[in-house]
Amino acid sequence: VAGPVRFCHKMNAMAMNNKPFTVFVEGNIGSGKTTFLEHFRRFEDITLLTEPVEEWRNLKGWNLLDLMYKDTAKWAMTFQSYVSLTMLDMHRRPTPTPVKLMERSLYSARYCFVEHMMRSGTLHPAEFAVLDEWFRFIMNQIQIDADLIVYLKTTPAVVYERIKKRARSEEQCVPLSYIEELHKLHEDWLVNRSHAECPAPVLVIDADLDLSQITEEYKKSEHQILRKAV
Ligand code: DCP
């Protein structure tokens, strides 16, 4: 139920514990995270933190995403350390609304991307150790709130086609095998729970559907995201 009464309840809930209901939107590259967040723009009392990738493409004019894909061994560490900073900024950003929706988190950076770079040898073990120490330090010293994770679950071949179609220039060389490995790491983290800690309950959404059908799927998550804030 949208509208002033509901909003008023939510504001009371906010006044009581002063913390927004915080949702991370996770899923493979091209799984539709930005589209999912945009779906919630219609609700006035939600803060959306979308497209961190735009910050990674322009740091004082430098496109770190591009540098990373062009020479991964050289730039992976720099790129992931900047990703951590931008994610920490999003986690800590003051939120004036009862609900906060974030695209990605420090967790997927560490458990999916950095994990992959470590396992594949792209990161030197010493570089990995530094990133891992930062991650552990942040987790121990800084409160990172998480109430729900929305996992946009996809089939690697489906997102691979989407990535080719959207033709983001930096991602032209991304092979299907990389997408498959990232898929496994997301599954290990969010479904199998075999790999690492998971900070909140996980809502799994079928994100293979194309844009014309996905809205119905997104709607199924509305009550979980909105109701919990009351
Ligand atoms: N990336 C990375 N390391 C991270 C996070 C992302 O190397 N810790 C890379 C993978 C992609 C680009 O950054 O090339 C953006 O990936 P995301 O999955 O974060 O964003 P998308 O725009 O692909 O999400 P979607 O299409 O689901 O909206």
To test the ligand 1 pocket, which listed residue (29, 79, 116, 168) has its Cβ within 8 A of the most ligand atoms? 29
Per the structure block, which two tokens stand in for 101? Answer: 């929706």
pLDDT tens-place string over residues 148-192: 999 999 999 999 999 999 999 999 999 999 999 999 999 999 999
Structural contact between residues 161 and 35, judged by C-beta atoms closer than 8 angstroms? no
Number of domains within the chain: 1
Set 38, 44, 51, 103: catalytic member: 103
Give the tens place of pLDDT for each residue, 75-103.
Answer: 999 999 999 999 999 999 999 999 999 99
Give the number of other CB atoms < 10 A from CB of residue 137. Answer: 10
**CATH number of the domain where residue 103 is located:** 3.40.50.300
103 flagged as catalytic: yes
Element (H, E) at 226: helix 211-227
Per the structure, the complete domain to which residue 163 belongs is given by 4-227
- For residues 128 and 118, the answer to whether their CB atoms sit within 8 Å is yes
Q: How confident is the model at residue 108 (pLDDT cuts 50, 70, 90)?
A: very high
The ipTM estimated for the assembled molecules is 0.96
Q: Which helix (H) or strand (E) holds 49?
A: strand 46-49
Rounded to 5°, the CA angle 217-220-224 comes to 140
Per the CB < 8 A criterion, the answer to whether 18 and 103 are in contact is no
- Residue 4 pLDDT exceeds 80: no
What is the C-alpha to C-alpha distance for residues 80 and 33, in angstroms, rounded to an integer?
Answer: 19
Is residue 117 lining ligand 1, measured as CB closer than 6 Å? no
For residue range 121-132, what is the model confidence (pLDDT) as tens digits? 999 999 999 999
The DSSP output letter for 41 is G
Beta bridge partners of 203: 150
**CB of residue 104 inside a 6 A radius of ligand 1:** yes
- Which atom of ligand 1 approaches the CA of 112 most closely? 8
Answer yes or no: is pLDDT of 5 > 50.
no
119 SS3 class: helix
Dihedral Cα 130, 132, 137, 138, nearest 10 deg: 110
Q: Atom 18 (ligand 1): residue with closest C-alpha?
A: 29
Q: What is the pLDDT of residue 17?
A: 59
164: which residues sit within 8 A by CB, 6+ positions away?
A: none
